[in-house]
Structure 1
Amino acid sequence: MRIVWIDDDVYRTELLRENLEELYACQISFFQKYSDGIQMLQNSHAKIDAVMLDIMMPPGELFDPHDVDDGRITGLRLYEIIRKYYSGPIILYSNFRDRTTINFYVKNDSYVKYLKKPALAEDILQKIFEAKRGDDFNWDD
């Protein structure tokens, strides 16, 4: 399974990424700088099975801090850009707790799922498979 992972937290995701690669033979392309991840998605001709996307990240060079609530919703704006190039499963992997906002994205796109940090490798794979099937929305609290 090929996963593109966009998250500003390299160290807290490292062991999880290693587990996915070593235990489940996943191929993970990790991007701390989201603009590199977007560029890869735009230019990739390889099949991508899922995108893991953090919600709370620094605004970076693409966004005005006010447009992303000073980084609180950067990943949600990235989702809107990513959807122009990629139609497969996206897992919003974050500590973001605004249920109304998450509901909007998940209920309007059956290939989007939310997974609260921290999670196990098995949880990520389960969410990816649910997203591939378009399963109904579930909160994992």
Structure 2
Amino acid sequence: MFVIVDDELERMRVYIEELQLCNYQVELVGNIDDALEYFDKKKEQIELLILDIMMASGQLSREPGINGGLRTGIVFYKKIRENDKNLPIIIFSNLSQINDQEIEEEIENNPRSKFLQKIETLPYQFVEEVKEMLSLS
């Protein structure tokens, strides 16, 4: 199962549909609080995590570095990586860069991590990136 954590359902709909056309099971989680709970309950079933950066901060608002939700996805990414170094994760954002040197280096050096910019990635290209990432696992 793939889990997409993104608060923009309408923008993600075409990507979800494209993944489903390729017979992938996709769950959309629309806020960070639900994502934390979902991950805790179903982490064994998750094959791929697709994560936006800018989302409302929810519970994570108490975490350092959230910056009003502008970095919620990065803090969530770090939490996941603390517990699971091997889960494939795609950071899929409207931002042109992550602006976090530690995470940028992690993504560059970890074949199970990838950064894609939404505006530059068509749905069929996204599926190809997903397939490539899964082939490395």
CA shift at 1:86, angstroms? 6.8
Count how many residue pairs are aligned between Structure 1 and Structure 2: 133
**CA deviation string 1:67-88 (max 9, x = no partner):** 2122111100000112215731
Structure 1 pair 46–65 and aligned structure 2 pair: CA distance change class (3 A): closer
Amino acid at match of 2:88: P
Q: How does 1:34-113 map to 2 (within 5 A)?
A: 34-44=32-42, 46-64=44-62, 67-83=65-81, 84-85=83-84, 87-98=86-97, 101=100, 103-113=104-114
TM-score by length of 1: 0.78
Runs of 4+ in 1 over 6 A off after TM superposition: none
Report if aligned partners of 1:57, 1:75 keep a CA contact under 8 Å in 2: yes
CA shift at 1:129, angstroms? 3.2
Amino acid at match of 1:16: Y
> Who is 2:116 aligned against?
115
Amino acid at match of 1:90: I
> Who is 1:130 aligned against?
132
TM-score by length of 2: 0.80
1:51 counterpart SS class: strand
Structure 1 pair 45–68 and aligned structure 2 pair: CA distance change class (3 A): closer
Deviates more, 1:88-97 or 1:121-130: 121-130
Select the structure that is richer in helix. Answer: 2
Amino acid at match of 2:7: D
Amino acid at match of 1:123: Q
Task: Give the CA RMSD over aligned residues.
Answer: 2.5
Amino acid at match of 1:9: E
CA shift at 1:37, angstroms? 1.9
Report if aligned partners of 2:2, 2:25 keep a CA contact under 8 Å in 1: yes
Structure 2 residue runs without a partner (length 5+): none
